[in-house]
């Protein structure tokens, strides 16, 4: 299983992708720098991804700042011990708060090991994460990509990626997740680099950062 660890891996992936699909050469030239953006695995890494879903980067940053408190790393045990209304003070939605509570309890009890999970094949790890209510495919895939460095994952449910691929490849319409997933198979074993590339391309076109982890 290939793991992305540094910018050199990103460069290797981009070079391989252009060979696999020559259409991507123009995307590479227009996208600019393709960010690495790896984060530490564990509860805090997954929690940050959950917090960032469907809100602006500024809102996610503000909520996360309140959750971090004095700047100490947020642990599953610390989150599980919070009082029942703490989520309101953070600015979390009830759904996200419930999801984080389920994850925190699973991690604290030892039934979910977010570190060792990253050593498993992607499909097995994805299944283990999505078994927790509130953790969908997108959240699981982004965790494996950015906290685990998995090189061959493509979150086809991401709307920014759908728009970026549709525009970049000149498709008649924005590809639906199933269509995009099939299309992305041609970028294996570097699908995670392809996703980073199209996020960078989309950001370059719209002048705003759409990468799902900061």
Domain residue extents for the chain = 7-38+152-206, 43-146
| pLDDT digit string, tens, across residues 128-149 | 999 999 999 999 999 999 999 9
CA atoms 197, 199, 200, 204: torsion sign: positive
- The class level of CATH for 7-38+152-206 reads mainly alpha
Task: Return the minimum-mean-pLDDT range out of 71-80, 140-149, 166-175.
Answer: 71-80
| pLDDT, average across residues 17-46 | 96
Q: In terms of C-beta density within 10 A (0-12 exposed, 13-18 middle, 19 or more buried), how is residue 18 classed?
A: middle
Select the highest-mean-pLDDT range: 5-9, 64-68, 72-76. Answer: 5-9
Higher pLDDT, 147 or 69: 147
Q: Provide DSSP, 29-90.
A: HHH----------SHHHHHHHHHHTTS-HHHHHHHHHHHHTTTPPP-HHHHHTS-TTHHHHH
Give pLDDT, residue 213: 77
| pLDDT digit string, tens, across residues 1-18 | 899 999 999 999 999 999
Task: Return the minimum-mean-pLDDT range out of 26-35, 91-100, 198-207.
Answer: 198-207
Mean pLDDT of the chain: 94
What confidence category does residue 70 fall into, taking pLDDT thresholds of 50, 70 and 90? low
Give pLDDT, residue 200: 96
Domain 43-146 CATH assignment equals 3.30.830.10: no
| pLDDT, average across residues 94-108 | 96
């Amino acid at each position: 299983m290939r793991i992305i660890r540094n910018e050199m891996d990103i460069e290797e992936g981009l070079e391989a992708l252009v060979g696999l699909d020559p259409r991507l050469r123009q995307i590479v030239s227009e996208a600019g720098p393709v960010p690495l953006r790896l984060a530490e695995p564990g509860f805090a890494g997954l929690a940050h991804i959950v917090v960032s879903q469907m809100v602006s980067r500024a809102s996610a940053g503000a909520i996360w700042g309140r959750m971090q408190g004095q700047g100490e790393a947020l642990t599953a045990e610390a989150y599980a011990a919070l009082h029942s209304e703490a989520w309101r003070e953070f600015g979390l939605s009830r759904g996200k708060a419930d999801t984080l509570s389920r994850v925190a309890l699973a991690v604290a009890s030892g039934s979910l090991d977010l570190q060792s999970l990253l050593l498993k094949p992607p499909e097995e790890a994805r299944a283990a994460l999505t078994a927790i209510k509130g953790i969908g495919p997108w959240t699981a895939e982004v965790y494996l990509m950015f906290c685990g460095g998995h090189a061959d994952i493509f979150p086809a449910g991401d709307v920014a990626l759908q728009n970026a691929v549709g525009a970049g490849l000149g498709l008649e319409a924005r590809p639906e997740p199933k269509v995009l997933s099939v299309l992305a198979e041609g970028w294996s074993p570097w699908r995670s680099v392809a996703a980073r590339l199209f996020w960078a391309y989309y950001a370059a076109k719209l002048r705003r950062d759409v990468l799902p982890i900061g």
